[in-house]
Structure 1
Amino acid sequence: MREIRTEPLTRAAFAPFGDVIEAAGAPEKIINQGLCGRYHDLARLDFGPGGRAGISVFDAAPRTLPYQLDMVERHPEGSQAFVPMSLASFLVIVAPDAGGRPGTPRAFVTTPGQGINLLRGTWHGVLTPLSAPGLFAVIDRIGDGANLEEHWLDAPWRITG
């Protein structure tokens, strides 16, 4: 079986696929009478024509490493952000587009407090928390049209830590 080792989630490594949402470094603004740091405009949200932003809550069962990846999906009509509602790590699997099909995947493990925003059309694995609870606020496109494309891989990948 083909194998991929996870890597830490960093803004630079993840940039081709989307955005890392986190409170890192100094806040861009200090608000609320000097008692709150604002980390401003962290995700390139994109909901396409005829769409609008929606917030949903996903409750996903935790998974473990090694993890078998046999399917990826993408959303051609809009971006999709995952913001954990607990301070737990999760697995993020993405793949570049290779002529309308997913290329070689990459696997990232978040640190507690990190969320992600997947750019429109980015191939990605399913929501994969590594511990319970698997509660996430998900900001994505609400609207008409087909916004989900699944691709079952010819051979699975084994994701290891």
Structure 2
Amino acid sequence: MDKLYAMEDAQRILQIAIAQETDSGELSHQQLLEIAEELNISPMALQTAEQEWRIMKGKAEDHRLFQRQRLQRLQHQVIRYGIIITFLVVIDFLTPGGTFLGYLGFSLYVALFWGLGLSLKAWRTFQTSGERYERDLNKWRRKRSMQQTLNGVVNRFLGST
């Protein structure tokens, strides 16, 4: 009696077998065509799958770059927050007089309100799904595409003169 495998299980088994068979961990296009032929996969289906894979890989790279930029922006804002709030607290301690909270006056209010805004921004940064995330990602993609187009035009203009 033949063993039956779920499609995902079969894909994983084949992935492991192919990885073990190739020394460098990479396959040439010819090897990929040969494997597809042995599995009765048409060259057209393989080409379509390869195009789909390239699109998915590009989207994953976009997500990774977008998230890295968001995290860097948040990190810069947190550092700026820390420096400015520290400066304001020092000013509060150096000024004469105090409030019911000791020597912390206006710096406490600034820290609380700015900190609230910063925490909301952090929550938004770490949320990597949903309608808002997709809208921000698409906006980032458009901006990046415009920058790349503009850079190409400038490079062509400067290169041709």
For Structure 1 versus Structure 2, the TM-score category normalised by the shorter chain is: under 0.3
TM-score between the two structures when normalised by the length of structure 2: 0.21
Q: Give the structure, 1 or 2, with the largest relative contact order (CA under 8 Å, sep 6 or more).
A: 1
Structure having the larger proportion of residues in helix: 2
Structure having the larger proportion of residues in strand: 1
TM-score between the two structures when normalised by the length of structure 1: 0.21
Structure index of larger Rg: 2
